Structure 1
Amino acid sequence: MNWYQTWNNPLKNLLWWLVIIGMLGSLPLAYMRHETETSTKNVEFVFDYRDLLDIADLQTNPQKFVQDQLGKMKAAGIGSMAVYESTLAEFKESRRIDLYNSRDAAALTQTFGDPSENFTYLLFTNNEAQQKLEPLIQKTFADLGVGVKPWSFKNRSGLVIQMSPDDAAIKAMDPDPIAMQMLKDQGFQLVVRLSNHREFKSNDMDRLLKQLHDLGVKRIIVDGNEVPGYTEENTEENLNKMADLLNKYGMGLAAIELLKEPQKGFSTLAKQTNYNVVRLHSFTEKDGDKLTEPLKKSELEGRIQGVADRFVLAVKDRNIRMVFINGHAVKSLDRAKVVDPLSAYYESLTGTDGAIPRIEKFGFDLGPAQPFEVHTTSWQKVARVFLLIGGLSLVVLMLSFFIPEGTLIFFVLGLIGLVGVHVLSANLYAQGLALMTAISAPSVAVMLAIRTVRSGASAKWKSGIGFGLWLLLRTSLISLIGIVYEVALLNHITYSLVLQQFRGVGLLHLLPIAIAGLYLLFFSENNTYSEKLANIRRILSSYISVLWIVIAGVGLAAVYYYLSRTGNEGQASTVEKLFRSYLENTMGVRPRTKEFLVAHPIFVLGGYLAVRYRHAVYLLFIGVVGQLSLVDTFAHLHTPLHISLLRIFYGLVIGAILGLILCAAWEIVARSWKRWAKPQLLK
């Protein structure tokens, strides 16, 4: 086995060089992502026109209300209106038609109706409505195989639709041409919501998209769970036709964030339109209802400020380029009137500390949302080799802390395995290697810190503060290596648009803790494998005391609390939310609480004490939470890189300062103990 040792021992040192070379070779890919996500700065605020009609329907003069609110929206920075596929119900709400059932129509005309008939009768309210809508209505129901015939009453023209009123009122047809022209004339950009409720016919879709293109429509929002053209059969053919039509008229899509499940066919359309997609944040009717509740003035102002903060965070921190605002009227029994959130919306956008001035302050502009311009480099193919070798080397380095004799075997088997996975699925390879490097980097960083203390190197430092700060800096820089690999491996536009998710990130929250803990307990001492096994047996065969049970309970509670705070579903108290909001508004970018308030300060204290006490290494172990958090920050692939960099920078600086305060507090307590408490106990 001499030949094996000849190759294995030098490899352990060579791995670090391979990691560094791989990281340097990957930096251009990370830079390309930065160029992509900063390629467009337009932010578009959109209001739901159908919601405006619903609110207006409860007013004394609906049409005047609509016009007044459109002017206020324009002044507040809402430059776009969203229109839907029309229905008879919406035409009625817009005062374009009046609807009757057979019984009401008979009463209106004072005739005896047919008791077996339940048709839909409609009258147009004016000539313009008849000219624009009658052909649309007739075609819609003719396509459904439903009979339509003329009808009139007192010089008003109408139609009889041979379908029940409840059924006819919800049949989808082309968007209201009168409303769209009116909104365009008032200077609004139109955004159209299209569903898959109608049978997909490429000729009809071609005609519709041309009409929308002539009105200046640039972006489509899918209404419902399926994109237009999605079917159980011939899906690929229909989606390709739909994509071709979108490309023909220069129209893109909007990806709604935080949907429970992806809209069927969306990824295909996005790819076929060369990712002409923007991310959309939806402010729902339920969100708006919180602004209509009976509140004190100060409470309402706080909620309005919260809405403004939410809009700013969406744009600045999550690459949102379209904010879609919904709202509806509520009958308030406390105030004995109908209330709506519109005035609160305007205040949140342009009032004191409003969202729009703050968004513009961050360098964004109001205007139609535009897709990212994807930047690529010819270095991409070469960088893949660096990523493979360097990423594998980082993972093998982590394993070598436990079994150094297996370094060469791990490297060879890992290389074969990764190449095989890449051949089977490039996407699985990228996500798998990104996850492994993300786990390995903070694990290696903290294990090196533990080894530094266990080896006695920390005792050679004269300054405990200097050692603590240096150790935090060195450990964080090693963790940052994993960030570079993570970003470079997952630099495709689909991750920025969240059309693909980085799977397995939950493991990043726990595995580095388990790996560093295992190393600290069983592998950090310079002993043989037989001694390590004996140590494990001794711990497993130890008697369990009540104290151990209490400690285990506290530990489990800490893990549960840690997990409850992790990820998008993490919970936070009201006080903490206010604290977060204060940090965000004060610093522009909020550092992560578990980093600057817990992990980094304790890590600095651990380094400070490690110069004198070897058992301070257990404080360093707590720092693994902060190190994995650094890497996890960049696992939010929809967050701009410069925002994530600022977040971890602020966390390190503030954490180091708080760590110094902890060191000072320790000295005060320790000296007080020696001077007063200890002598008293010895008496």
Structure 2
Amino acid sequence: MNLYQTWNNPLRNILWWFVIIGMLCSLPLAYARHQTETSANQVEFVFDYRDLLDIADLQTNPQGYVNTELPKMKAAGISSMAVYESTLAEFKESRRIDMYNSRDAAALTQTFGNPNENFTYVLFADSQTQQKLEPLIKKTFADLKVDVKPWSFKNRNGLVIQMSMDDASMKVMDPDPIALQMLKDQGFQIVVRLSNRRPFNTNEMDALLKQFHDLGVKRIIVDGNEVPGYTEENTEMNLNKMADLLHKNGIGLAAIELLKEPQKGFSTLAKETNYDVVRLHSFTEKDGDKLTEPLKKVELADRIQGMADRLVLAVKDRNIRMVFLNAHAVKSVDKGKLVDPLASYYESLQGKDGAIPRIEKVGFTLGPAEAFDVHSTGWQKVARIFLLVGGLSLIVWMLSFFLPELTLIFFVIGLIGLVGLHTLSANLYAQGLALATAISAPSVAVMLAIRSVRSGAAAKWKSGLAFGLWTLLKTSAISLLGVVYEVALLNHITYSLVLQQFRGVGMLHLLPIGIAGLYLLFFSENNTYKEKAANVRRILSSYISVLWIVIAGVGLAAIYYYLSRTGNEGQASTVEKLFRSFLENTLGVRPRTKEFLVAHPIFLLGAYLSVRYRHAVYLLFIGVIGQLSLVDTFAHLHTPLHISLIRIFYGLILGAIIGIVLIAVWEILTRSWKRWVQPQVSK
């Protein structure tokens, strides 16, 4: 036992140094991530060409409408057009062909049709169109083993496809070669949306990608739920071939953010292309519809500004390098006509406080989106050892607040467990250790602040304000230890591209609160385990009044509201959204509301009062929300590091200012009470 204590007691003091050494060794890895995030600064605005055709199809002069809008889009900063794989339906919509079923063809030619025939009849718009499209159509249906025969009517050539029109109009073929050439001639960069709706054939895909390469295509967007080449069998082989073909033709991928489900095979294809991937933000038709509603000018201007804010935020805060714009026309009963959001889009991009000037102002340029140049360091392998020991030390340090006698046992068991976990799964090890350190750091930080009050160290300070500011700074610095480990352990490019998610972050929002609360209630006093157990029994056997039930209900409601505001699904009121927009536009980076408006000010007030009142430590405890929020900010791994650093800096500065205001208000109220109210009460 004496031998154990000889090792256990010094270890508790050494843990701190292990944590510091691990942090210092982690900094080069964090810097490598920063270099990666700043290696690509071109932003590409893409419009859905099919949507433009859909809107044009409702106009009196469809082709004229397209020719009018394309220059407007280019002037607004939309430099790219997204072109899909073609269908007969799309050729019809773009006026390349006319299409009829057997009954309509018979009526057109004034002949008696075969009642047992249900074919598709196609007429080309002119001979030039026929020259471009006929080989494409014939090949598509020949591959489907469907007979295609020539047909003509009134000097217009066409085809008869022996398949029903509903079925034939959906069959996928190569993108419209006429549209591709027209868009290239007008100076647009072409982005192709490619699906997995056709059987994967290496030679045909190679020829198609070669055609794209010759047109200057730099990137494809997967259309549908599966990447080209994904099959139930031989998936890995096909995806390897697809990746080789993409690499051969200098074409990369775009990853659409916030999809309900990942596209099947995308992560594998991204890996095989050496992560030649950019993140894409989609402004959907539903989003565009909000700009076509019957609104007052002021309301429309607010929504246009909201769109601009959203696009700037996506680029600046979420590593978005491609913005994909969708739109469609809607019937406006109030206006008595068809309306579309295109004019509002142009205003949002280039108007007053438009998205593009603001994006350029913060250092980005317009151009084809480029993948990050992934930076690495030779220090990585060595740093892994220090990360393991330092991260484990931080976790054990947290546990030692509760069971200091078992520090050595925790360290040995943890070391064996982490080594075994790394052997089993390097990814699971990295995520598990990152999450554990992220939880431990704010917990330790707040528990140390609580200990300084319980031990009487706070009472020795002459200035409550100085103690409060020092404690806020020190506590935040300790919390940021967890950030360095989190960033270093999860510095792979897949996290920046959100091809891999940091799992279990929800635990970060609750566990530090529970850990710090448990310490405050049962372990912060310098008493024996027997006394601690007696304290637990006393609390559990206490009678519960209606007041306690009400307080518990309010507490549960507060926890529910807190959780509802956490993560991407969190909801915010209109007023709060306006406030957020004001902060974003004023400061450039918006600090987190719960930090600078709630947690940091209350923490500072609690620390200030703790110099005189020991029970003020409960106000200090509320600050754990702000501390875990600091760490959680960096759990958004798609947000650039410098943005997160600015965000927490603003949060601390504004939180300290508001906290000082609270202290001033407290002093005014207490002094007024002593001067005016207490004498009256004593009488």
Q: Partners in 2 of 1:547 and 1:530 — Cα distance?
A: 30
Match of 1:587 in 2: 587
Deviating beyond 6 angstroms after TM superposition, the runs of 4 or more aligned structure 1 residues are: none
Match of 2:362 in 1: 362
Match of 1:676 in 2: 676
For 1:515, the aligned partner's letter is I
For 1:571-628, what per-residue CA distance to the aligned partner results, in whole angstroms no more than 9, with x for missing partners? 1111001000000000000000000000000011011100100001000000000000
Match of 1:485 in 2: 485
The CA deviation at 1:108 is 1.0
The CA deviation at 1:107 is 1.0
Range 107-116 or range 639-648, more displaced: 107-116
Give SS of 1:98's match.
strand
Give unpaired runs (5+ residues) of structure 1.
none
For 1:459, the aligned partner's letter is A
For 2:533, the aligned partner's letter is L
For 1:647, the aligned partner's letter is R
The CA deviation at 1:322 is 0.1
Match of 1:27 in 2: 27
Q: Partners in 1 of 2:151 and 2:546 — Cα distance?
A: 87
Match of 1:416 in 2: 416
Q: Partners in 1 of 2:132 and 2:386 — Cα distance?
A: 62
Structure 2 residue 199 is matched with structure 1 residue 185: no
Aligned length, in residue pairs: 683
Match of 2:649 in 1: 649
Q: Partners in 1 of 2:171 and 2:283 — Cα distance?
A: 26
Give SS of 2:108's match.
helix
Q: Partners in 1 of 2:126 and 2:42 — Cα distance?
A: 40
For 1:437-465, what per-residue CA distance to the aligned partner results, in whole angstroms no more than 9, with x for missing partners? 00000000000000000000001111000
The CA deviation at 1:110 is 1.0
Match of 1:109 in 2: 109
Q: Partners in 2 of 1:546 and 1:113 — Cα distance?
A: 84
Q: Partners in 2 of 1:59 and 1:661 — Cα distance?
A: 60
Match of 1:262 in 2: 262
For 1:118, the aligned partner's letter is N
The CA deviation at 1:105 is 0.7
Match of 2:324 in 1: 324
Give unpaired runs (5+ residues) of structure 2.
none
Where does 1:383-398 land on structure 2 (aligned, <5 Å)? 383-398=383-398
Where does 1:164-203 land on structure 2 (aligned, <5 Å)? 164-203=164-203
The CA deviation at 1:234 is 1.1
Structure 2 residue 162 is matched with structure 1 residue 130: no
Give SS of 2:420's match.
helix
Where does 1:86-101 land on structure 2 (aligned, <5 Å)? 86-101=86-101
Give SS of 1:82's match.
strand
Match of 1:567 in 2: 567
Give SS of 2:408's match.
helix
For 2:109, the aligned partner's letter is T
For 1:191, the aligned partner's letter is V
Structure 2 residue 73 is matched with structure 1 residue 73: yes
Match of 2:547 in 1: 547
The CA deviation at 1:156 is 0.6
Q: Partners in 2 of 1:128 and 1:540 — Cα distance?
A: 87
Q: Partners in 2 of 1:309 and 1:171 — Cα distance?
A: 39
For 1:402, the aligned partner's letter is F
Give SS of 2:233's match.
coil
Match of 1:219 in 2: 219
Q: Partners in 2 of 1:403 and 1:191 — Cα distance?
A: 59
For 1:143-173, what per-residue CA distance to the aligned partner results, in whole angstroms no more than 9, with x for missing partners? 0111100000111100000000011111100
For 2:242, the aligned partner's letter is M
- How large is the RMSD of aligned CA atoms in angstroms? 0.4
TM-score w.r.t. structure 1 length?
1.00
For 1:373-426, what per-residue CA distance to the aligned partner results, in whole angstroms no more than 9, with x for missing partners? 000010000000010000000000000000000000000000000000000000
Q: Partners in 2 of 1:331 and 1:572 — Cα distance?
A: 30
For 1:639-659, what per-residue CA distance to the aligned partner results, in whole angstroms no more than 9, with x for missing partners? 000000000000000000000
Q: Partners in 1 of 2:255 and 2:128 — Cα distance?
A: 36
Give SS of 1:615's match.
helix
For 1:38, the aligned partner's letter is T
For 1:72-126, what per-residue CA distance to the aligned partner results, in whole angstroms no more than 9, with x for missing partners? 0000000000000000010011111000110111111111100111100000001
For 1:10-69, what per-residue CA distance to the aligned partner results, in whole angstroms no more than 9, with x for missing partners? 000000000000000000000000000000100000000000000000011100100110
Structure 2 residue 522 is matched with structure 1 residue 522: yes
For 1:263-297, what per-residue CA distance to the aligned partner results, in whole angstroms no more than 9, with x for missing partners? 00000100000000000000000000000001101
Q: Partners in 1 of 2:392 and 2:113 — Cα distance?
A: 81
Match of 1:626 in 2: 626
Q: Partners in 2 of 1:82 and 1:678 — Cα distance?
A: 74
Q: Partners in 2 of 1:538 and 1:128 — Cα distance?
A: 91
TM-score w.r.t. structure 2 length?
1.00
The CA deviation at 1:527 is 0.1
